[in-house]
């Protein structure tokens, strides 16, 4: 049986890389893609997902418009690492229109999909967790109906990439991250910021990845060009953050070591708001521990990444 994935994204370039990995995997069926603000505005997220589906010839997969702002409102974190539109600001006159979006809201789609296939669906989240938080608040029984959840977000050592101690997805909506980590009782796997940075691919691999002489590879080369030079100064290798969470969802053998631990999110610290808290001494007495990914099989990861652009 194929693995059934429902994917929640804020479609920047690394989300696109993760999506293309899932779409190319013969062991996976993508049931739908729900969209959230994050790397750019919600409308851009939706448009970007449709662009990815278009280049992958998968426009039959339903796409749902979701949250446009954090649960408590406020300004969005304007980093624009992947360009203002989230996909490198590359003009695309052939991009599909937003009329292809489903009328159903993303949160309703998450609840319906879980109800239709209880215990079978893996939910993969690569953006702010607002849609997931709203879904569990609408139906607290949702986690019991999911097979598991895979999250790219949070941090294990307090190393921030957008604030002093906050990783971008969690810091974009700390309340949503708090709700998800405390109310999702199904198995939750977390690919945190420091984990992704600890397992980079070489820049030689990146060159091979985007020079496969396919339409998908050419697309990826164009949309990543905006952030390529910055990435080379910040990382010793190619780090496709969201792809690590996706690889874990696709192939359980990709993950070679986890830390089983209670986790939460700091909401009020002046320097630590949005930071994932690792409960090393079990002070929180949480029954449902998270599986925080500690190590992975980079060989399997390379195979999945290369296959995404073939």
Catalytic residues: 10
**Does an H or E element contain 296, and which?**
strand 290-296
Q: CB-side exposure of 128: number of CA atoms within 13 Å? A: 29
The angle subtended at Cα 163 by Cα 268 and Cα 197, nearest 5°, is 120
Distance of CA 273 to the CA centre of its chain: 20
Residue 254 is encoded by which pair of tokens? 């990709």
Q: Report yes or no: 55 and 63 within 8 Å, Cβ to Cβ.
A: no
CA 292/CA 281 separation, integer angstroms: 15
User: DSSP 3-state assignment of 164?
Assistant: coil
**Does an H or E element contain 144, and which?**
helix 142-145
Q: How far lies 235's CA from each of 142, 169, 308, in Å?
A: 38, 19, 22
**Does an H or E element contain 180, and which?**
helix 174-183
């Amino acid at each position: 049986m194929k693995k059934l994935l429902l994917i929640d994204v804020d479609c920047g370039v690394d989300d696109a890389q993760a999506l293309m990995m899932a779409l190319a995997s013969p062991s996976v069926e993508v049931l739908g893609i729900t969209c959230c603000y994050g790397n750019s505005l919600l409308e851009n997220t939706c448009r970007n997902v449709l662009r990815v589906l278009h280049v992958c010839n998968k426009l039959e997969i339903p796409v749902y418009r979701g949250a446009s702002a954090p649960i408590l409102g406020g300004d969005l974190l304007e980093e624009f690492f992947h360009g203002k539109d989230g996909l490198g600001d590359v003009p695309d006159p052939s991009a599909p229109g937003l009329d292809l979006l489903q009328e159903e809201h993303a949160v309703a789609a998450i609840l319906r999909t879980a109800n239709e296939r209880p215990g079978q669906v893996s939910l993969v989240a690569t953006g702010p967790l607002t849609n997931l938080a709203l879904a569990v608040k609408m139906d607290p029984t949702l986690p019991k109906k999911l097979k598991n959840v895979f999250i790219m977000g949070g941090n294990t050592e307090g190393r921030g990439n957008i604030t002093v101690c906050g990783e971008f997805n969690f810091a974009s909506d700390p309340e949503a991250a708090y709700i998800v980590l405390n109310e999702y009782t199904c198995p939750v796997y977390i690919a945190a910021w420091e984990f992704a940075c600890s397992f980079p691919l070489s820049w030689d691999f990146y060159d091979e990845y985007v020079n496969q002489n396919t339409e998908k590879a050419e697309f990826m080369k164009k949309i990543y060009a905006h952030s390529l030079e910055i990435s080379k100064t910040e990382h010793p290798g190619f780090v496709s953050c969201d792809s690590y969470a996706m690889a874990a969802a696709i192939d359980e053998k990709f993950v070679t070591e986890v830390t089983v631990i209670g986790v939460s999110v700091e909401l009020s610290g002046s320097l630590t708001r949005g930071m994932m808290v690792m409960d090393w001494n079990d002070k929180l007495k949480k029954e449902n521990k998270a599986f925080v990914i500690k190590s992975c099989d980079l060989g399997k990861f390379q195979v999945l990444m290369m296959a995404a652009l073939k």
